[in-house]
């Protein structure tokens, strides 16, 4: 009788443990919860605070950039349990969207080399999502690959962009941790037309996802001069490491979002140029122009 009781107790315990493991849809790992939705609603009622960036020609550091050294960092997701599930889910979304963009670039630039960072591209789109609202935000969320399982148009069907940026930052940290000699840095720049205000909340949301962020006012009506000013500004902030960030600007632009990503490491082998064997069958191999090496940096400008 005691043995039967022991078996029943064991069965109850196993059932309780099994029931404790509840399936969580990957979307819900990044969506807003009800308490966060209430906080967002209160912020909307208070109204959005804005500021007008200083001119790019100004030599003084504006007050909104003084606190960058003390800015809060994005909370890195844990690498156990749901943290791993988050990274795995975001990794797949980044890969799919990156391949879509890469395919289009290959079609547009036939015969040319294409250098694309899917993580940086995805992060830029998430940044746009943070500054968007209404239908624009919904369209960007769909482009990013986040489809709510319920389909209800309420707040809990929206993705928290901070959680996505946190996972992207973790991916970048994991890449850097594999090699101590690998240097990685990201600088965000917001260039707005003179007198155009920017949302304080939007800028604060972007701060933790980059090593530095700058906001300046630029006159876009003279595209060539604006491109020179922006390139000179970025070159100065990067201490001469980044040059010629932009070559063309739309004169009707109100806002330019630029990302300067730097990736530097030790090249194990020098550039190889010349004729290399290229075997197509069992017959003697013909010669074909070849080149090998590793990229040292990348830059991207998005409007």
Contact in structure between 252 and 272 (CB atoms under 8 Å): no
Write the burial class of residue 298 (CB in 10 Å: 0-12 exposed, 13-18 middle, 19+ buried). middle
**Max avg pLDDT among 34-38, 75-79, 140-144, 201-205:** 140-144
Asked whether residue 67 carries a pLDDT value surpassing 90, the answer given is no
| Segment 181-190, tens digit of pLDDT | 677 788 899 9
Q: What is the pLDDT of residues 258-295, one digit of tens each?
A: 888 877 766 555 555 555 554 544 455 444 444 434 34
Strands 50-51 and 198-199: antiparallel
Is the predicted pLDDT of residue 92 greater than 90, yes or no? yes
Structure tokens at 164: 């996505």
pTM above 0.85, yes or no: no
More confident residue, 254 or 20: 254
In percent, the amount of the chain with pLDDT more than 70 equals 71
- Comparing CA positions, the residue from 214, 222, 216, 218 lying closest to residue 193 is 218
A 10 A CB-CB count for 170 gives 20
| Nearest-angstrom CA–CA distance, 39 and 27 | 20
Helix, strand or coil, per DSSP, at residue 222? coil
Q: How far is CA 3 from CA 11, 12, 14, 16, in A?
A: 12, 14, 17, 20
CB-count burial class (<10 Å; 0-12, 13-18, 19+) for 203: buried
For residue range 142-193, what is the model confidence (pLDDT) as tens digits? 999 998 887 667 788 899 999 999 899 888 888 777 766 677 788 899 999 9
What span, in angstroms and rounded, lies between the C-alpha atoms of 69 and 100?
A: 36
> Does pLDDT of 207 surpass 70?
yes
Q: For the segment 93-107, what is each residue's pLDDT rounded down to a tens digit?
A: 999 999 999 999 889
Using pLDDT thresholds of 50, 70 and 90, give the confidence band for residue 196: very high
CA separation for the pair 121, 125 (Å, rounded)? 6
> Architecture of domain 26-33+49-62+74-302 in CATH?
2-Layer Sandwich (3.30)
What integer is the mean pLDDT of 112-125?
87
CA 175/CA 184 separation, integer angstroms? 9
């Amino acid at each position: 009788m005691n043995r039967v009781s022991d078996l029943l107790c064991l069965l109850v315990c196993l059932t309780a443990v099994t029931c404790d493991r509840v399936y969580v849809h990957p979307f819900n790992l990044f969506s807003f919860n009800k308490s966060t939705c209430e906080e967002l609603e209160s912020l909307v009622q208070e109204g959005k605070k804005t500021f007008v960036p200083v001119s790019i020609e100004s030599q003084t550091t504006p007050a909104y950039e003084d606190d960058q050294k003390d800015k809060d960092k994005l909370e890195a997701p844990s690498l156990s349990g749901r943290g791993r599930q988050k990274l795995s889910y975001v990794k797949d979304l980044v890969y799919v969207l990156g391949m879509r963009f890469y395919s289009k670039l290959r079609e547009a630039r036939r015969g040319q080399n294409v250098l694309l960072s899917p993580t940086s591209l995805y992060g830029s789109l998430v940044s746009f999502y943070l500054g968007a609202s209404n239908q624009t935000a919904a369209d960007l969320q769909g482009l990013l690959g986040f489809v709510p399982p319920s389909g209800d148009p309420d707040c809990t069907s929206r993705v928290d962009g901070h959680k996505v940026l946190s996972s992207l930052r973790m991916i970048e940290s994991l890449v850097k941790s594999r090699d101590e000699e690998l240097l990685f840095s990201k600088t965000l720049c917001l260039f707005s037309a003179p007198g155009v205000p920017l949302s304080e909340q939007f800028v604060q949301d972007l701060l933790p996802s980059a090593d530095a962020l700058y906001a300046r006012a630029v006159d876009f009506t003279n595209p060539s001069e604006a491109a020179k000013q922006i390139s000179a500004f970025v070159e100065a902030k990067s201490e001469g490491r980044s040059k010629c960030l932009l070559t063309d600007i739309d004169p009707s632009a109100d806002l330019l979002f630029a990302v300067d990503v730097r990736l530097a490491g030790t090249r194990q082998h020098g550039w190889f140029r010349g004729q290399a064997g290229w075997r197509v069958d069992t017959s003697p191999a013909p010669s074909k122009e070849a080149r090998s090496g590793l990229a040292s940096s990348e830059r991207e400008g998005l409007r």
